[in-house]
Chain A
Amino acid sequence: MSEKGTGIAIDAAKLKEIEKIIEKHKNEGGALIPILHEAQDLLGYLPEEVQKMIAKGLNISLAEVYGVATFYSRFKLNPKGKYNIQVCLGTACYVKGSDKVLAKIEETLGIKTGETTPDGKFSIESARCVGACGLAPVMVVNEEVYGKVTPDMVKDILSKYE
């Protein structure tokens, strides 16, 4: 995968949607970030092709789009796995040992944080507080939140997504 994002073909209908998103925000002050948000909500990440479209639509350089997209950690240039696992490394979770949960997940899946398994099924991310500190340590698989997770529980949780 190249640094700038993959060249996987995106279907035409979605590209049309992106056009519409650009059109909608084009004349607002500070349009770039809202457009990136909506484009990523639609596609799950920001392929190079789409970054180029946005640059053209806003009449700015691709470098500027890329510069903004890489500045903010929420914007992704590569697709995530079918099941995206987030382990909270916020302070409340960290002091309760969420780093050990993360290590166990990395060990179980054989990939590191920020990577996707070769079959495209799982990806791992670390998060900074998902707002459920009362349930610390917390992990999230797609939208499902798991609280009070111990390394022992990792296998069981992941097996639900086999």
Chain B
Amino acid sequence: MKSLEELNEIRTKTAEKLGIRMGKQVDIGKKNILICCGTGCTSSKSPKIIEEFNKQIKEKKLEDKVEVTKTGCFGLCARGPIVIVYPEETFYTHVKPEDVTEIMEQDIIGGNVVERLLVKEGETSDQIAHKLHELGFYKKQMRLALRNCGRINPENIDEYLAFDGYEALQKVLLEMTPEQVVETMLASGLRGRGGAGFPTGRKWDFARKVTADQKYVCCNADEGDPGAFMDRSVLEGDPHSVLEAMAIAGYAIGASQGYIYVRAEYPIAVERLKIAINQAREYGILGNNIFGTDFNFDIDLRLGAGAFVCGEETALMTSIEGKRGEPRTRPPFPAVKGLFGKPTILNNVETLANVPQIIINGAEWFKNIGTEKSSGTKVFALGGKIKNTGLVEVPMGTTLREIIYDIGGGIPNGKEFKAAQTGGPSGGCIPKEHLDTPIDYDSLMAIGSMMGSGGLIVMDEDNCMVDIAKFFLEFTQDESCGKCPPCRIGTKRMYQILERITEGKGKEGDIEELEKLAQNIKRSALCGLGQTAPNPVLSTLKYFRDEYEAHIKEKRCPAGACKGLTKYHINPDLCKGCGLCARNCPVGAITGEVKSPHTINTDKCVKCGLCMSKCPFKAIEKK
């Protein structure tokens, strides 16, 4: 338990130490090495790099000169593992444990940058970015929800405190009434980042006005959209910001208990949350009589167990209660009757991560960022066919083109952009002609997609849009909880039709059948899962109807992605008869004399594409 004075002392002391990361104290001869330990970089062995640095620092007796800090995600996952050396802010990428000696000797001791590990932007090697803020990747970004990711050690509450941590909670408890907190949230225009975009202040206001002996604050950290990892990065990089926001929400609505429902598939996030909760309890920031007031609040974790539908609010609450995570009908809304039958608010991780900043800087400040109806920023997980896969945060109203080309670096391998998918299984595909749409909740809705939670998957000319629609329907029909027939049976029927089309067995009338089913499911499904499941099909039909027609009428997949519709063929003019394809074919479908053109037996061919990738003369074609 720490008093306010003690907390302030920790803040000042730690801030002094961390000044080195803020470009202050350049000349005191100390260095701070920051290493990303988010899931991406951890997968490519960043903990080993930390170990190696610490070992060498010890051997060289540099403990008072150099400090190694593990941090959350810097966002540029494509180039991980990432190491930054302060105070110079030198940005090293693709670092391997074997590179540590060179960084130690040349940079840390010698004072010379290891050029080999810097980012080369563009095609020429003279466009080298030395420092983090020189990278094109960061130039158009604005990091609010991710402000501490890559800046602090998420396992050390003191570092969070040093960057204004828990000051918002302090302000709320000591200077504001619950009504004022809700008013601030309303005025800020913050909308839910979990997908639906519901105004956060309104949700809190409902719950505040209900009287009950117990209320709950829940955090949705289930992040079900496959291929999205915004919430994970916040939890891994800045867990305290979520705890702080939950306590603020608790004060605003009159709740004393919070639950974070987090995916069991996120072991690092779970671990860091546990550490953060324990540290906050130790400091008396969670528990009874917080900051000497009569406000009590505590938080517990509940692990999800791999059911997408549990991201839906009522299903999530049923799951916390220990049951099959099936959604309930609304009303009653959770703000009236939620978890264990008590008034409950549920907010997404990223929504919450914005809250402390809004309290500190004021509603007006937040309202001025972004667009009129969507204030603030949005984090996107950029993935798929894009150079800089990773995490980006931009003000609302940024165009897709800016995200994909200026920040994302464009499409690799000289391929052509085809579509971007947002909103995951509930969203849609955005084609080239809408690249210049400023992104916010309403504009994405208007073009038949949705903001969703922030997954942004880029597709190129090799991706078949019918196949992508099928991919999402496979997902939703598999994840349907089975409670309501439109979703359970309807999505399955849609999937079967798509399967048929991609196998070359599509029939006249299939498209109309898909559209009819889609409309019916949207209208009659019980929860958001079913109501939005047809969206990927509807949006691809809207923009890529010709691809569906080619599959059905011409039995042809224009992208060459659907196995059932592609045939491999050897061009006899290009084939030199080297035999490499025949040797690699797993099923022995290729035959031919040495030095004369080979042929593929299409009955035997399993269309694995291995021959095509092996042929040195590009003689194998896909049709």
- List the interface of chain A (C-beta within 8 A of B): 29-34, 36-37, 67-68, 71-75, 89-96, 100, 103-104, 107, 127-136, 138, 145, 147, 150-152
B38-46, B137-145, B161-169 - interface stretch: B38-46
**CB distance B306 to A133 under 8 Å?**
no
B621 within 8 Å of A (CB atoms): no
Bound form: Cα–Cα A116–B302 in Å: 30
Select B266's contact among A37, A68, A131, beta carbons within 8 Å.
A131
CB distance from B580 to the nearest CB of A (A): 13
**CB distance A90 to B226 under 8 Å?**
yes
CB distance from B149 to the nearest CB of A (A): 14
- Interchain residue pairs with CB less than 8 A apart (20): A29-B322, A33-B319, A37-B305, A67-B324, A68-B324, A74-B304, A74-B306, A89-B226, A92-B389, A95-B468, A127-B265, A128-B226, A129-B227, A130-B265, A133-B77, A134-B78, A134-B80, A134-B390, A135-B43, A150-B613
Bound form: Cα–Cα A94–B43 in Å: 19
Residues of B within 8 A of A151 (CB): 608, 610
Residues of B within 8 A of A71 (CB): 307, 324-325, 481
**CB distance B43 to A95 under 8 Å?**
no
Identify which of A37, A95, A151 gathers the most chain B CB atoms within 10 Å of its CB. Answer: A95
CB neighbors of A among B242-292 (8 A): 264-266
CB distance from A153 to the nearest CB of B (A): 12
CB distance from A143 to the nearest CB of B (A): 9
**CB distance B77 to A91 under 8 Å?**
no
CB neighbors of A among B600-623 (8 A): 608-610, 613
Bound form: Cα–Cα A48–B476 in Å: 29
**CB distance A100 to B609 under 8 Å?**
yes
Total number of A-B contacts with CB less than 8 angstroms?
A: 137
B59-67, B378-386, B494-502 - interface stretch: B378-386
**CB distance A133 to B322 under 8 Å?**
no
**CB distance A91 to B384 under 8 Å?**
yes
**CB distance B424 to A133 under 8 Å?**
no
**CB distance B43 to A92 under 8 Å?**
no
Closest to B463 in A: A95
B362 within 8 Å of A (CB atoms): no
CB distance from B329 to the nearest CB of A (A): 19
Bound form: Cα–Cα A56–B390 in Å: 47
**CB distance B229 to A133 under 8 Å?**
yes
Bound form: Cα–Cα A33–B421 in Å: 34
**CB distance B305 to A104 under 8 Å?**
no
B323 within 8 Å of A (CB atoms): yes
Residues of A within 8 A of B321 (CB): 29-30
Residues of A within 8 A of B324 (CB): 67-68, 71
**CB distance B608 to A96 under 8 Å?**
no
Select B227's contact among A68, A75, A93, A107, beta carbons within 8 Å.
A93
**CB distance A131 to B232 under 8 Å?**
yes
- Given the known A-B contacts A68-B324, A90-B227, A91-B471, are A131 and B40 also in contact in the complex, defined by CB atoms under 8 Å? yes
Closest to A150 in B: B613
CB distance from B535 to the nearest CB of A (A): 14
